[in-house]
A and B are shown apart, each in its own frame.
Chain A
Amino acid sequence: MSALLFKGAGFTYPGAPSPALRDCVLHADAGSITWLTGALGAGTSTALLLAAGLAPRHTGGERTGTVLTLGVDPALPSSGAALGGRVALVLPSPATQLSGIAETVFQEVAFAPANLGWPRARITARVSDALTALAISHLANREPGTLSGGEMQRAVIASMLVLEPDLWLLDEPTSALDTAGRALVHALLRREAVRGAAVVVASEDTDGLHQVADRLVVFADGCPVLDGPPQEVLRGERVWEAGAASTAIAGLARAAGNAAPRPLTVDEGVARWAR
């Protein structure tokens, strides 16, 4: 049974003239990384809020169709008990994800487990593992508000990793990270999938994704229009027609008039165009 299932799911924000998501069919399986991409406004961020149940429970507005998160409809108030602490959500701006009451990064990462009433020994052990996994153990005693954007983003991811969630929902999780940071998070997501979690990433950053994602779903105008293996989708033409984009090198190949399938990486580009 899929960790995430949308059947004809639609959603309209309160006061919005048109729906942000329309008649969306989507699934994400445990043990795999599903990457959603699309132009701004294509609906990938809304899909994550729907999966987390925050839309409509927190956003207000109207949902149509069926959404099942880990087998439960997340919009039901009673879903809190079944899903509490099992669904991780990471949003694009780290600063608004902080707990607001932590004086140190250690307390920040320990926020959710403490709220769930875990025994203290378990919290301490899981928190230090999470800090190590994100390579921020050296920041454990720093004040969260004084971290750089990249450090804060890692702290937010660590504060979700600590819960060992069954479903990851990440919206532009590496936007503030450098190349090394991005590679570290991608490797972490792969380990989480191997552990059995379902990982769903919404991001326009398609440059590294074909080495990370098992499946690429391209959204356009509020619903998925392409769904397939990343290598295949990124080399094709339809990803551009959907208003999304492939890698920088594929974009260059397209601008140079190359037909699909196009090179994705610098090495492939050199192989294609070198004398």
Chain B
Amino acid sequence: MNARLLALLPAAIAINLVIGGLVNAMGLPLYLDSIGTILATVLAGPAVGMLVGAIGQVLFGLINGYQWIPFGLIQIVIAVLAGVAASQAGFRSTGRSIAWGLLTGLVAGALSSIISYVLFKGVTATGTTAVVTLLRQLGLSLPVAVTASSLALDLADKAVAFLVVGALVRSLPNRMIGRFARAALAVGR
């Protein structure tokens, strides 16, 4: 692996693991644990994005004890979708970024609800599970409650994640855009 990727990847993975905490410190109930994956995909392609997402998920499990390694699959799906979005200049405007974010959120939400229900009995990260419990008390069945809460949170989380990465890449200085040719394509510059 060339030295540039050895320098880029740890930073992108660390962003996946740190930005959530940063945003929570501001009282926003978002995970944003895929910004590094999306950014790496836009800058260096989906293969790199998948690696960032996968290693990030393993390290998240290692550090926090939560065993979310099965959710690594979702990071890979996000990298694929972000790659498709980038190839279609999906980050060219706020509107397009959010649209691609919602699409990714839909797919990610559906997948995570299956994993959450089948493997984890609907109990995953505190935020999501609190919503599940609420819906359950309103009388929804567990599978429906899990699916609804995963979808709702993932739609919001991925929309904001795509929004942030799109706004960032659009505002990148010329020197950086010149260094990451793919990024220019992603924002139609």
Contacts and interface: CB of A to CB of B under 8 A. Distances in A.
B174 interface: yes
A60 B178 contact: yes
Contacts of B10: 100
Interface in B32-56: none
A15 B177 CA distance: 8
Interface in A10-29: 13-16
A13 B3 contact: no
Interface residues of A, number: 9
A60 B179 contact: yes
B175 A16 contact: yes
Contacts of B178: 13-16, 60-61
Nearest to B176: A15
B171 to A, nearest CB: 14
A16 to B, nearest CB: 7
Majority secondary structure of chain B interface residues (helix, strand, loop or mixed): helix
Contacts of A15: 173-175, 177-178
A69 to B, nearest CB: 17
B174 A58 contact: no
A61 B175 CA distance: 10
Contacts of A100: 10
A59 B174 contact: no
Given A58-B3, A58-B4, A16 B174 contact: yes
A101 to B, nearest CB: 9
A14 B4 contact: no
Interface string B133-176: 00000000000000000000000000000000000000001110
B187 to A, nearest CB: 14
B67 to A, nearest CB: 26
Nearest to B3: A58
A264 to B, nearest CB: 37
A231 to B, nearest CB: 38
A14 B179 CA distance: 7
Contacts of A58: 3-4
Contacts of B177: 15
Determine which residue in A15, A58, A100 has the highest number of CB atoms from chain B within 10 A of its CB, and name it: A15
B11 to A, nearest CB: 10
A61 B176 CA distance: 12
B169 to A, nearest CB: 14
Nearest to B172: A15
A100 B173 CA distance: 26
Nearest to B173: A15
A59 B179 CA distance: 7
Contacts of B174: 15-16
Contacts of A16: 174-175, 178
A261 B175 CA distance: 42
A13 B10 CA distance: 25
B175 A13 contact: yes
A60 B175 CA distance: 10
Contacts of A61: 178
A16 B3 CA distance: 23
B175 A14 contact: yes
Contacts of A13: 175, 178
B43 to A, nearest CB: 13
A151 B171 CA distance: 36
Contacts of B175: 13-16
A61 B181 CA distance: 12
A61 to B, nearest CB: 7
Interface in B55-72: none
A58 B4 CA distance: 7
Contacts of A59: 179
A14 B176 CA distance: 8
Given A16-B178, A60-B179, 6 more contacts: A13-B175, A13-B178, A14-B175, A14-B178, A15-B175, A15-B177
Lowest 7 CB-CB distances: which A-B pairs, in order?
A14-B178, A15-B178, A15-B174, A15-B175, A60-B179, A15-B177, A14-B179
17 contacts: A13-B178, A14-B175, A14-B178, A15-B173, A15-B174, A15-B177, A15-B178, A16-B174, A16-B175, A16-B178, A58-B3, A58-B4, A59-B179, A60-B178, A60-B179, A61-B178, A100-B10
